[in-house]
Structure 1
Amino acid sequence: MARLDRAAVIAGAWDFVEAHGLDALTMRKLASSLGVNHGTLYWHVENKRALVDALAEDLLAGVADVDPAHQGADRLIALAGRLRSALLSHRDGARVMAGTFVRQPNTLAFGEAAIAAARAAGAQSADAALAAFSVQYFVLGFTIEEQAHQQLTAADAQPTDTADTTDFDADRFPLVASALDTMREIPRDAQFDYGVRQLVRSLRFTERRGRSD
């Protein structure tokens, strides 16, 4: 194989996760899949936590690249969509991102873009921070559930999802049964778009047209 470097380790880790899932990833198993000695990996990543952080940073490459000329609320919605797409680009992408506290360029650029968008939409310092992180938390939660459902379906398991109304007493819980029937008819993309737009709208920003931060 070609000379091992950090980029090859990250690419190999993604290949492993795609094939086996995040839970199966260990430094030893990754080394074996790359055909190198276990200790060789530590020249590039110090431990599994650092490896997962590197995967999270890799996921966010280019995600912050939204048009700064657009209104702040629209930019925040666009960033949410770009983040979801990035997380869905790899198996367990949302789980990779959740719980990491990466302070690297791609991650910082996304945070900077989200906070700037919130500020452009009229939020002051503290509210802008809360808004940016609230949007990120929504995207992570939505996408974790979305990917979990995808994996259950792929494994031919019986998912407990919005399409399943047969495993409980619908007469006792008629509103839930009706809601699940409704959700079954709404595509995931539309569910996500509704949620993120409602969240951004609820922040009650007043757009500062033509004003830069």
Structure 2
Amino acid sequence: MARKKQNSEYESLDQSKIIQTAIDLINKDGLKKLSMRNVANALNTSAASLYWHIENKYELLQLLSEQISKNISFPDSSKEWYEQLIELGNEFRQALLSIRDSVEIMTETVPMTPDRLQLIENIYRILINAGFRSEDVPATASLFNNYVLSFVRDEMIQVQIAKIQGLEVNEAFEQARNMFQSLPVSKYPSLVELADYSVSINSDKQFEFGLQVLLDGLNKRLQQ
């Protein structure tokens, strides 16, 4: 971990301040523009002072992934395994949605911090207790993890596309729906017919539908 020094400039900082400032910058400008220098400027200090608390940008990303994991509550272990995964999936999604580019933060760092490891541990334990074979647990957990991450990535892309167009997300969806409905029926009959369903503004229902399909498949495998 980064070094510490008895100095008023360094003591005025701590990791929690640095992490929150980094989150604020990411939510404003995106992960690509995040740098130790930008964080230092936002804190009205020097980049060198940050290095007494955080060694480098990669450690900062690790701490951000840990912060995301801290915001995830775990379900009651007495519930059925699929109910636990539905709850955990929703918790995971909401934690990711709280920070812009959170999916990149999670995928570009190795899980090695306590709360992030605890997230994996809980998913593994749910699957083990459900009766999944030990050799299948890591792959099954990965499927669950990847579904949540990919869904949130798509949600965030939709938000950014709408922002570029100067629209709210609902407005962008409505615009897309109108585009589908205006297509020539002779060439795209299915797209026109299903326009209302193809462009949905209810991301919560879409997420739970996909998660339920995944869990139904896993349950079928569990029964074999």
1:187 is aligned to 2:218: no
Pick from 156, 160, 171: which aligns with 2:165? 156
Amino acid at match of 1:156: Q
Paired residues, number:
206
CA contact (8 A) 1:72 1:119 kept: no
Match of residue 3 from structure 2? none
Match of residue 4 from structure 2? none
Amino acid at match of 1:129: P
Q: 1:206 Cα shift?
A: 4.7
Q: Kindly provide the CA deviation profile for residues 20-50 of structure 1, in whole angstroms up to 9, marking residues without a partner as x.
A: 1111111111111111111111122222122
Match of residue 15 from structure 2? 6
Q: Kindly provide the CA deviation profile for residues 165-193 of structure 1, in whole angstroms up to 9, marking residues without a partner as x.
A: 52776643433454443133461100000
In structure 2, how many angstroms separate the alpha carbons of the residues matched to 1:93 and 1:170? 40
Q: 1:64 Cα shift?
A: 4.8
Match of residue 211 from structure 1? none
Larger Rg: 2
CA contact (8 A) 1:56 1:96 kept: yes
Amino acid at match of 1:66: P
Pick from 16, 23, 40: which aligns with 2:25? 16
Q: 1:205 Cα shift?
A: 5.4
In structure 1, how many angstroms separate the alpha carbons of the residues matched to 2:69 and 2:133? 25
Amino acid at match of 2:206: Q
Q: CA 1:90–1:174 in structure 2 vs 1: closer, same or farther (change >3 Å)?
A: same
Q: How does 1:96-175 map to 2 (within 5 A)?
A: 96-157=105-166, 164=176, 166=179, 171-175=186-190
Which structure carries more relative contact order (alpha carbon 8 Å, separation 6+)?
Answer: 1
By percentage of residues, which structure has more helix? 2
Q: Kindly provide the CA deviation profile for residues 79-126 of structure 1, in whole angstroms up to 9, marking residues without a partner as x.
A: 111100100112222232223212111111110111111122221112
In structure 1, how many angstroms separate the alpha carbons of the residues matched to 2:192 and 2:43? 48
Q: 1:155 Cα shift?
A: 3.6
Pick from 189, 205, 211: which aligns with 1:196? 211
Q: CA 1:125–1:20 in structure 2 vs 1: closer, same or farther (change >3 Å)?
A: same
Amino acid at match of 1:198: V
In structure 1, how many angstroms separate the alpha carbons of the residues matched to 2:127 and 2:82? 7
Range with greater deviation from structure 2 (146-155 or 174-183): 174-183
In structure 1, how many angstroms separate the alpha carbons of the residues matched to 2:111 and 2:200? 37
Taking structure 1 as the reference length, the TM-score comes to 0.85
Taking structure 2 as the reference length, the TM-score comes to 0.82
Match of residue 28 from structure 1? 37
Q: What is the percentage of aligned positions where both structures have the same residue?
A: 28
